[in-house]
Amino acid sequence: MGMKQTVRDFFKQFPNDDACLAHLFEVRYGDAHTCPKCNKSGGWYRLSKVKAFSCQSCGHHIHPMAGTIYEGSTTPLQLWFFAMFLFTKSRNGVSGKELQRQLGVTYKTAWRIGHKIREHMANVDGDTPIGGEGKTVQIDETFIGGYRRGGQGGVGKAIVLAMLENDGDVVTEVIENRGTMAIMPHIMEHVLPNTEIHTDELAAYKALKRVDMNYTHKSVDHSAKQYVGWDRQTTNTAEGFFMHLKRTIKGTHIWVSAKHLHRYASEVEFMYNRRDHPESHLTDLLYCFPKG
Ligand SMILES: [Zn+2]
């Protein structure tokens, strides 16, 4: 699509809310969209008082925001789009405070927009299984926390599990339970049969040989793991992913609850999986919506 990426280009493409709504209609339905009511195609016009388009033949209405993260929002679409722009321009994420300042909305609204965008990133990124015959997947886990457990006053940590195909995508899962045995079902869900899996020596991974997935399992000495270098330019390791995640959380948000940790992991995952195509960050967010 070759969409340009400066602030000026952004506002040229999306000068106002109407332009944003027209874009959303176009992306989700297209000009030639067949009316679900009268089956005629190609005749839609914008209604003036509601954020909707109407069929020229029968008057059926289509609301482009319905079924997207914008549904029910009173925040102008242009601010939503601009918030996405800010996300894709930031290396370590955008805090609620920063969104509040840049968008001129309340903190509560900014916080909600941020989480909806992370949810959108997770949907756009999808979770196609990784690995398979002849492929190698590194799996690693890290503990992030702590969060205050309801009523107990104790501090715990959540497990973030990263499954990373060599030269491919990363898939993450956040597991609130401390027990590492909870890891296995997530691996079986995301890593295809016949994959060669590399992990550290955590006991939970020993079960990889027992599950009915024909995995080949190789484990690496935990102390040896420390010597794996992390090259900022060509990072393709679970450690690289975790460093980015921790920088985003500690540097930008300072503290996140376990309940929302998966959203931050999704954000870093979205960016990580497009690390070689920075131009696709914004286009993917602005062009990938549920089809009408
Ligand atoms: Zn119609």
pLDDT in tens, the chain (292 residues): 445 589 999 999 999 999 999 999 999 998 778 999 999 987 899 999 999 999 999 999 999 999 999 999 999 999 999 999 999 998 888 999 999 999 999 999 999 999 999 999 999 998 899 999 999 999 988 887 754 444 343 356 788 899 999 888 999 998 876 666 788 999 999 999 999 999 888 888 888 988 899 999 988 765 555 444 433 333 467 778 888 888 888 777 766 777 788 899 999 999 989 988 888 999 999 999 887 7
Kindly calculate the radius of gyration of the chain based on its CA atoms and give it in whole angstroms: 22
What pLDDT score does 135 carry? 94
Query: How many whole angstroms from 196 Cα to the centroid of ligand 1?
Result: 53
Give the residue among 131, 166, 146, 14 at the shortest CA–CA distance from 81.
Answer: 14
Domains in the chain, CATH or no CATH each: 136-276 (3.30.420.10)
**Distance between Cα 49 and ligand 1 center (Å):** 19
The SS3 call for residue 148 is strand
How far is ligand 1, taken at its centre, from the CA of residue 61, in Å? 8
Instruction: Look at residue 176 in the predicted model and tell me its pLDDT.
Output: 74
Q: Report DSSP state, residue 180.
A: G
Q: How far is the CA of 200 from the centre of ligand 1 (A)?
A: 59
Q: What's the CA-to-centroid distance between 36 and ligand 1, angstroms?
A: 7
| pTM assigned to the model | 0.85
Report how far ligand 1's centroid is from the alpha carbon of 56 (Å): 7
99 Cα–ligand 1 center, Å: 40
- Cα 253 to middle of ligand 1, angstroms: 47
CA dist 63 and 40 (Å) reads: 18
DSSP β-bridge partners for residue 140: 162
Count of beta carbons in the 10 Å neighbourhood of residue 109: 18
What number of CA atoms fall less than 13 Å from residue 151's CA on the CB side? 0
Distance from the alpha carbon of residue 90 to the mean position of ligand 1, in angstroms: 43
